[in-house]
Amino acid sequence: MDASGTLLAVHADLQRFLSDDLVTEPTAEAIEALRGVRVDLSQAEGDVSLVRRVVQGRLDIVGHEVERRRGGAPEQPTGEATPPENAALLFSMPEILSDDVGGSRRPVAVLEPGPIALSLVDELDGIVSPAQLSGIQALAGLELSDLLEGLRSFEVELSGIRRQLHDRIDAIQDEIARRYRDGEASVDALLH
């Protein structure tokens, strides 16, 4: 396994999908088995990608607050009425959460979240929950820095796992395509 991190240590499904013995020799596997593994890996990749996008949204919100404070805005003490600048945060959410961050080579398929996504969201909520985000302006500077670092680490780890899943999916897809190209498999067999 290339990815070293806490996520793989606690997620048995991710460990299984990224283990070296998932598909030891793609050329020796039956095509039906390869297709099944590809489906499982695609669902896992969809789960990881979905949670990664949620992490990026939370990173954008925390990063915006860090930048706001760098511009001289103070933290808001807990329990105070919402100041007018909080309204500006609310109205800037579409810009903060926009998708203008560069293109991805792969389209993002939105599938129903599976068990991996649900588990990863629980991990993410342990770093920063939606409730904490709603009161982000009341957090102390050190808390905000810790949140930003925790989210960045989580996103980096998810990105590494996602990359490994892509590599495995691509290898399996290449083998399936090779079999069709070389005549070892036929479309007619799928129809019968």
Report yes or no on 189 lying in a domain. no
Contacts of 62 (CB under 8 A, 6+ apart): 128, 133, 136, 144, 147, 148, 151
Distance CA 26, CA 51 (A): 29
Report yes or no on 23 lying in a domain. no
Confidence of residue 24 (pLDDT cuts 50, 70, 90): low
Distance CA 65, CA 91 (A): 14
Question: Per residue, what are the HEC states of 24-53?
Answer: CCHHHCCHHHHHHHHHHHHHHHHHHHHHHH
Contacts of 2 (CB under 8 A, 6+ apart): 18, 160, 164
Number of structural domains (the chain) is 1
Domain of 148, in residue numbers? 6-18+30-182
Report yes or no on 192 lying in a domain. no
If one counts every other C-beta atom within 10 angstroms of the C-beta of residue 111, the result is 14
Distance CA 17, CA 170 (A): 14
Report yes or no on 65 lying in a domain. yes
Report yes or no on 47 lying in a domain. yes
Report yes or no on 1 lying in a domain. no
Tens digits of residue pLDDT in 94-124? 565 565 545 455 555 556 788 899 999 999 9
Higher-pLDDT residue of 187 and 17 is: 17
> Looking at 70-79, 103-112, 129-138, 179-188, which range is the least confident one?
103-112
Distance CA 190, CA 125 (A): 43
Report yes or no on 188 lying in a domain. no
Tens digits of residue pLDDT in 133-177? 888 888 888 999 999 999 999 999 999 999 999 999 999 999 999
Tens digits of residue pLDDT in 46-65? 999 999 999 999 999 999 88
Report yes or no on 121 lying in a domain. yes
What's phi and psi for 160, nearest 5 deg? -65, -40
Using alpha carbons only, give the angle 45, 49, 54 rounded to the nearest 5 degrees. Answer: 150
* Structural contact between residues 152 and 78, judged by C-beta atoms closer than 8 angstroms: no
* Structural contact between residues 108 and 53, judged by C-beta atoms closer than 8 angstroms: yes
Residue type, 23: V
